Amino acid sequence: MSDKKVKKILENQIGQDAIIEIDNLLTPIFYQNPNKLSLPEKNIAIIEELEREINNGGFNQFFFNSAGDYSRNILTALKTIGSTFFLNIFERAIAMFPNSEVPKDRNTRQEFLEKIEEEANPIWEKLDREFYKYEEDIYSLMIDYIKNNINDFR
């Protein structure tokens, strides 16, 4: 896989701007056929999917929408890039599900949401506010991860 596009982005952009450009490159592929992405590319795409959903409508929206299908993968991706702050928030959010198991199937997950949201929503809203503080530089973690896996990026 050629690393020219992502490498060029990293040469010309830093921080959040670089991640936004890389996300713009990966997201269309992720939505059309996620299997065309390498594992490192998919890790970045799903972390950005988490961020997009939380910033747009919080954890309730994340779990309600198709992004919630990737909950288990997002846990792994956050661990893989070395996140502690966002990983902790995400682990507490999924703890609202029985046995901290988020159903991968969206319809099943939405049925669970109806059962747990009265108890879960106040906790998720608190976690949303913690998330918005960005007390960890998630962009630097992602950029370091990309640089360490540059041959797996397009």
Kindly give, in sequence order, each residue whose CB lies less than 8 Å from that of residue 112, ignoring residues fewer than 6 positions away. 97, 98, 103
pLDDT in tens, 106-135: 999 999 999 999 999 999 999 999 999 999
Mean pLDDT across 77-89: 98
The DSSP code sequence of 57-75 is HHHHHHHHSGGGGGHHHHH
Domains of the chain: 4-149 (1.20.1420)
* pLDDT-above-90 percentage for the chain: 97
pLDDT in tens, 41-54: 999 999 999 999 99
What tokens appear for 131 in the block? 């998330």
Task: pLDDT band for 4, please (50, 70, 90 cuts).
Answer: confident
Q: Tell me the pLDDT of the chain averaged across its residues.
A: 96
Residue 74, phi-psi category: left (phi > 0), alpha (psi -120 to 50), beta (remainder): alpha
**pLDDT greater than 50 at residue 1:** no
Task: pLDDT band for 91, please (50, 70, 90 cuts).
Answer: very high
